[in-house]
A = this chain, B = another copy of it.
């Protein structure tokens, strides 16, 4: 669950800052800086939306060097669909940080989240970057996690510690995102910081594995954003021997990272816009893992399923209908469905326990298991219910 204490453990060698730039409106810190005292190895994953925000395009180029020192991030404006000016603004944000710090432009990454299509308010951002840099060390990672929130109702931080290669390694991850969540990584920003020493290639591989089984398997509303970004920085300050791919140390690090991103992605779903319930959809024994994933997302994205869960209605026919249109192989007479431990469908037909299942749906955590009995493809997808409140939040977002 969310950690809001000021004492959040952070890896050695990272400093933070957060200021109010009134990007969208005044009243909160909305511009933050993450800084590694030493050059860090870096890796990243980005939205697969063909409409990409300027900062995403910029970072996708920068990340090829596999290293960096700083990330500047704002909420309130996504700097997406802002044309050539948007790219100029993203570049300027990086350059201003670099100039104030006396580091190379290429060492600064930029991320933005918020409204699409509005030019960045550079007149307010530009003059405050000196202040942002000067204040490095005065803020905690909690302040950064709070500064990047948009419709989030709580800030999201997960910490993992583990002794690897004789040294205590810390990984601290923050993320934001509560709507427009769908693979891959919709309106989601996540920054993962570690003091591990690790090879660039190993870092990238570990991040890919972790993201594909966490952030890429959650959905709130099926909409994919233009800005999704996960960046990881590993500055080596723990002093461990450099972790190489294929080693036991790599496995230990990779496992820790997977648990961390999984728990972060759980926090996003728990904070799903307007959600009252946390829903895990598991497809078992599909023909392939890919089909399992397709089926699970069809259920997890079905408005009829999500509203039925909200209404405590074990309307499993909607699950069957969603599976049916997902395009995966399905044999009705082989299909079993379980809702919170209660088998509601056996061999494609009702077991007659819908009333009891309605009761189970009153729980806050819902677990749906569909066993297709066709192969060995198994996948879990996380989602939430759909409520009037989701509609309200998204009908009024810009106003």
Say whether A81 faces chain B, with CB atoms less than 8 Å apart. yes
Contact across chains for A223 and B302 when beta carbons are under 8 A apart: yes
Say whether A118 faces chain B, with CB atoms less than 8 Å apart. yes
Complex: chain B residue closest to A225, CB-CB: B321
Question: In whole angstroms, how far apart are the Cα atoms of A330 and B52 in the complex?
Answer: 12
Question: In whole angstroms, how far apart are the Cα atoms of A86 and B120 in the complex?
Answer: 60
Residue among A116, A317, A320, A321 with the highest chain B CB neighbour number at 10 A: A321
Q: Mark A283-309, 1 if CB is under 8 A from B, else 0.
A: 000000000000000000111100110
Chain B residues positioned under 8 Å from A78 (CB to CB) = 317
Contact across chains for A350 and B49 when beta carbons are under 8 A apart: no
Stretch at the interface among A13-21, A154-162, A210-218, A391-399: A391-399
Say whether A315 faces chain B, with CB atoms less than 8 Å apart. yes
Contact across chains for A117 and B316 when beta carbons are under 8 A apart: yes
Task: Say which residue of B117, B310, B320, B388 sits within 8 Å of A320 (CB atoms).
Answer: B117
Whole-angstrom distance between the Cβ of A314 and the nearest chain B Cβ? 9
Question: In whole angstroms, how far apart are the Cα atoms of A50 and B118 in the complex?
Answer: 44
| Chain A residues numbered 53-90 whose CB sits less than 8 Å from any CB in chain B | 78, 80-83, 85
Say whether A377 faces chain B, with CB atoms less than 8 Å apart. no
Instruction: Give residues in A with beta carbon < 8 Å to B.
Output: 48-52, 78, 80-83, 85, 115-119, 179-180, 182, 221-226, 301-304, 307-308, 310-311, 313, 315-318, 320-325, 327, 330, 332-333, 345, 347-350, 354, 386-388, 390-392, 394-399
Question: In whole angstroms, how far apart are the Cα atoms of A119 and B351 in the complex?
Answer: 11
Contact across chains for A51 and B321 when beta carbons are under 8 A apart: yes
Whole-angstrom distance between the Cβ of A213 and the nearest chain B Cβ? 21
Contact across chains for B223 and A317 when beta carbons are under 8 A apart: no
Pick 18 A–B contacts, CB within 8 A, sort by A.
Answer: A49-B324, A49-B325, A50-B330, A51-B320, A51-B324, A52-B324, A81-B320, A83-B349, A85-B349, A222-B222, A222-B301, A222-B302, A224-B324, A225-B321, A304-B394, A308-B398, A311-B397, A388-B392
Contact across chains for A179 and B304 when beta carbons are under 8 A apart: yes
Whole-angstrom distance between the Cβ of A181 and the nearest chain B Cβ? 11
Contact across chains for B394 and A116 when beta carbons are under 8 A apart: no
Question: In whole angstroms, how far apart are the Cα atoms of A313 and B323 in the complex?
Answer: 33
Known: A223-B318, A308-B398. 19 other contacts (CB 8 A): A49-B321, A50-B325, A50-B330, A51-B330, A52-B324, A80-B320, A81-B317, A81-B320, A81-B332, A81-B349, A82-B349, A116-B317, A117-B316, A119-B350, A179-B304, A222-B302, A308-B395, A311-B396, A313-B397
Chain B residues positioned under 8 Å from A394 (CB to CB) = 303-304, 307-308, 311
Whole-angstrom distance between the Cβ of A56 and the nearest chain B Cβ? 11
Chain B residues positioned under 8 Å from A85 (CB to CB) = 349
Contact across chains for A313 and B399 when beta carbons are under 8 A apart: yes
Whole-angstrom distance between the Cβ of A368 and the nearest chain B Cβ? 15
Whole-angstrom distance between the Cβ of A189 and the nearest chain B Cβ? 15
Question: In whole angstroms, how far apart are the Cα atoms of A188 and B355 in the complex?
Answer: 28
Question: In whole angstroms, how far apart are the Cα atoms of A222 and B301 in the complex?
Answer: 9
Complex: chain B residue closest to A387, CB-CB: B391
Whole-angstrom distance between the Cβ of A175 and the nearest chain B Cβ? 19
